[in-house]
A and B are shown apart, each in its own frame.
Chain A
Amino acid sequence: MNTPETALPADADDGGRTQETLQLLADMGREFVSTGDLNAALYHAVEHITRYIDAEGGALFMLDESGATLTCLACSGETEITGLTLGSDQGIVGRCVQQDTGTIVRDVSKDTSFFKGVDEETGHVTRSILCAPLSVKGERLGAIELINKRGGDGLFVDGDLTLLTAMADSAAMAIVNARMAGQLVEQERLARELELAAEIQRSLLPEADEALPVAGVNVPARTVSGDFYDFFQLDDGRILFNLGDVSGKGMNAALLMAKTASLFRCLGKAIDHPGKLMARINEEICETATRGMFVTMVGGIYDPATGRLRLANAGHEPPLLVGADGTFRELPADAPPLGISVMLVPDNGYPVEDIGLEGGAFYIFTDGLTEGYTGQGQELGSHGVRALIETEKQAALGERLERIIAAVRDSGEALRDDLTMLGVDDSAPARKRSADNRTVPKIAQHLAAIEVPSNPDRLRMVREMISDCCEIAGCDTDARRDIVLAVDEACQNVIRHAYGGDANGRMGVSVWLDSGQEGSRLRIEISDDADPVDPATVRPRDLDDVKPGGLGTHLIREIMDTVDFVAPPVEAGNILRLTKTL
């Protein structure tokens, strides 16, 4: 049963000895498999094999990661060399590693590879060496070396090498397994952390609310996403929304996304002007280094009560405007992304576009959608997005976005980028607006009109006209007094704010009595030719803060039922419409 190559030690024909040898290998194998401390197991193995083969000493050398050096990891016997480092081709152990074969050197003085340095250092005399490589499928890990056989004729035999080789193979396998297990544990830890990060990130997205005419979808290409969207309703019913795309993917993009999204939500509650809000976010992001990352974003504010949409575009893919008649219009950006430079943004913020949706819809999406594959290796493209919007126009907004996204998500092709889309659908709010308007039937009786210069000394004329109109409309004294005050305050805003105090502007005041079965209302329209007023700046002040000034707008809103800017017939100028149900 024994060939010379596989022979067990010389006295192996002793059945008890064979049994013992197998037992040793089995024990060491078991310790390698079950150990939580590989180094200790390797140390035991070296100790056992040294004693078993009856050598003076033994040592286990490991290659470093680069393969340049061999370091003694464990040793047994009289000479302590743990930590000793050799070049990976130095000595007999180096040769054994390089050639990946075991070796018996019965007289080291006749072997030119022998490295005398250790003996010189330790005073130990090496006569013979037995060495077996540690390797798995050609992957070299190191070697085990025994020194100076004690018993018998003091020479290592083939059986010793066979035994050492068997043990080295078992140890090598244990080392590789332990390394792989370590990598797996690390990978799993990272995966768990990514999953946690993704969970936090999902919680930054707003919850779907079918009652709102705004919805969004986000499908990350990896666990975490560099895209985001958000929307929330302000106390006055207007809805602030955004969609952004951080350059790059992965964890660093996700972190910048979290920062940007948080800034938008936090600052958006105080700054309801999209251009100024985004300029502020830009400043914040620019203030800290982002390692060359930047954020493209469309941010806006939508008022379901009027269908007006104001938006700013910081370098993002052009959003799509879909009219109630199905016509498409792209809204390209002419401002830089967030996080590049404060200098590139005008002092008064990102440019803002003001749009009347008038029953139409508005979509923002990331290039993950337009550049996503639809199945035949074809990019969806902007035309594809338009076609899907057209096909799915009957679906509810949230469902519509899901189906459009699904064209790329479910194509069977791996996602190349995050898919994110946000939509604003004005169709339901528009129906409600027109229903609200119908409650006051359209029998409009023009009561009076006056055109005066924007001079405070003409306000009395306006007040008298309004007072007379109220009397014609049948208002009681209190209502008349209130309406006169509201119109007077509105005219003051024109003089002071729209014209900035210039007394030579044109100011028109026109009064109608709209009446029908459901009652009647007084409608007053105040027009001017000044530069368009930002309605966001015409807001009631906080009354808890009792200070002079800023009170007029509060009085107007307190008295009148509706206060709205309506689109003027020509480019310039403003028309403020006030109504009061009688």
Chain B
Amino acid sequence: MDHETREHGEHLIIAFSGDIDLQSSSQARTVLLDAVSRGQPLLVDLSGVEYIDSSGVASLVESFQKARKSGLDYVLVSVSDGARRVLELARLDKVFTIVSTIDEATAGGS
């Protein structure tokens, strides 16, 4: 798994790629929780994620809950087919805000 963090206006974008599995999910968790603590609205780009398992999903859920508590927007962007399928199976696809592009996420001040 790789990740990349960059600023986009007021937003913070974290882009993951590769496999988020049992081996890498603790690293993903740290990255996500650190990002939330920076206090910016968050865009999590999952376009490059080839595989995500339940532990990866758990990292998303935990950081999402933390962002919500801090009143921060938390949006999943460009979710790959594989990742979307896992979110559906976990019945979390309606819990997260999921958009197709970064522009869509930043437009309308959502």
Residues A492 and B55 in contact, CB atoms below 8 Å apart: yes
In the bound assembly, the distance between CA atoms of A460 and B18 in angstroms comes to: 11
In the bound assembly, the distance between CA atoms of A543 and B95 in angstroms comes to: 11
Min Cβ gap A477→B in Å is 8
**Interfacial chain A residues near B59, Cβ < 8 Å:** 548
Min Cβ gap A460→B in Å is 7
Residues B89 and A555 in contact, CB atoms below 8 Å apart: yes
Residues B23 and A456 in contact, CB atoms below 8 Å apart: yes
Residues A546 and B85 in contact, CB atoms below 8 Å apart: no
Residues B85 and A543 in contact, CB atoms below 8 Å apart: no
Residues B22 and A495 in contact, CB atoms below 8 Å apart: yes
Min Cβ gap A524→B in Å is 16
In the bound assembly, the distance between CA atoms of A23 and B58 in angstroms comes to: 101
Q: Is A192 an interface residue (CB 8 A)?
A: no
Q: Is B98 an interface residue (CB 8 A)?
A: no
Q: How large is the interface on B (under 10, 10 to 19, 20 to 34, 35 or more residues)?
A: 20 to 34
**Interfacial chain A residues near B53, Cβ < 8 Å:** 485, 488-489, 492, 552
Min Cβ gap B58→A in Å is 3
Please give me the residue from chain A that is nearest to B52 by CB atom.
A485
Residues A456 and B22 in contact, CB atoms below 8 Å apart: yes
Q: Is B107 an interface residue (CB 8 A)?
A: no
In the bound assembly, the distance between CA atoms of A488 and B56 in angstroms comes to: 12
Q: Is A263 an interface residue (CB 8 A)?
A: no
Min Cβ gap A13→B in Å is 111
Q: Which of B51, B54, B57, B91 has the most CB of A within 10 A?
A: B54
**Interfacial chain A residues near B54, Cβ < 8 Å:** 489, 492, 551-552, 555
**Interfacial chain B residues near A546, Cβ < 8 Å:** 61, 65, 92, 95
1/0 contact string of B34-66 vs chain A (CB within 8 Å): 000000000000000001011101110110010
Residues B22 and A559 in contact, CB atoms below 8 Å apart: no
Q: Is B82 an interface residue (CB 8 A)?
A: yes
1/0 contact string of B55-88 vs chain A (CB within 8 Å): 1011101100100000000000000011001100
**CB < 8 Å neighbour of B82 from A460, A481, A489, A559:** A481
**Interfacial chain B residues near A549, Cβ < 8 Å:** 58
In the bound assembly, the distance between CA atoms of A488 and B53 in angstroms comes to: 8
Q: Is A554 an interface residue (CB 8 A)?
A: yes
Q: Is A120 an interface residue (CB 8 A)?
A: no
**Interfacial chain A residues near B95, Cβ < 8 Å:** 546
Please give me the residue from chain A that is nearest to B58 by CB atom.
A548
**Interfacial chain A residues near B23, Cβ < 8 Å:** 456-457, 459-460
**Interfacial chain B residues near A547, Cβ < 8 Å:** 61
In the bound assembly, the distance between CA atoms of A481 and B88 in angstroms comes to: 13
**Interfacial chain A residues near B82, Cβ < 8 Å:** 481
In the bound assembly, the distance between CA atoms of A460 and B62 in angstroms comes to: 24
Min Cβ gap A497→B in Å is 12
Q: Is A558 an interface residue (CB 8 A)?
A: yes
Also in contact, A485 and B22, with CB within 8 A (given A463-B51, A543-B91, A551-B57): no
**Interfacial chain A residues near B85, Cβ < 8 Å:** 478, 481-482
In the bound assembly, the distance between CA atoms of A462 and B5 in angstroms comes to: 30
In the bound assembly, the distance between CA atoms of A457 and B27 in angstroms comes to: 14
Please give me the residue from chain B that is nearest to A482 by CB atom.
B85
1/0 contact string of A351-391 vs chain B (CB within 8 Å): 00000000000000000000000000000000000000000
1/0 contact string of A530-559 vs chain B (CB within 8 Å): 000000000000010011110110110011
Please give me the residue from chain A that is nearest to B95 by CB atom.
A546
Please give me the residue from chain B that is nearest to A488 by CB atom.
B53
In the bound assembly, the distance between CA atoms of A9 and B73 in angstroms comes to: 116
In the bound assembly, the distance between CA atoms of A488 and B20 in angstroms comes to: 12
In the bound assembly, the distance between CA atoms of A543 and B53 in angstroms comes to: 16
**Interfacial chain A residues near B65, Cβ < 8 Å:** 546
Interface set, chain A 436-479, CB cutoff 8 A to B: 456-457, 459-460, 463, 478
In the bound assembly, the distance between CA atoms of A489 and B21 in angstroms comes to: 10
Min Cβ gap A169→B in Å is 90
**CB < 8 Å neighbour of B21 from A460, A478, A496, A554:** A460
List 5 additional A-B contacts (Cβ < 8 Å) besides A456-B22, A492-B54: A456-B23, A481-B85, A546-B61, A548-B58, A554-B90
Between A and B, 20 residue pairs with Cβ closer than 8 Å are: A456-B22, A459-B23, A460-B23, A463-B21, A481-B81, A481-B82, A485-B53, A485-B86, A488-B53, A492-B53, A492-B54, A496-B22, A551-B54, A551-B90, A552-B53, A552-B54, A552-B55, A554-B89, A555-B89, A558-B89
Q: Which 10 residue pairs across A and B have the least CB separation, nearest first?
A: A548-B58, A551-B54, A456-B23, A456-B22, A552-B54, A548-B62, A548-B61, A492-B22, A558-B89, A543-B91
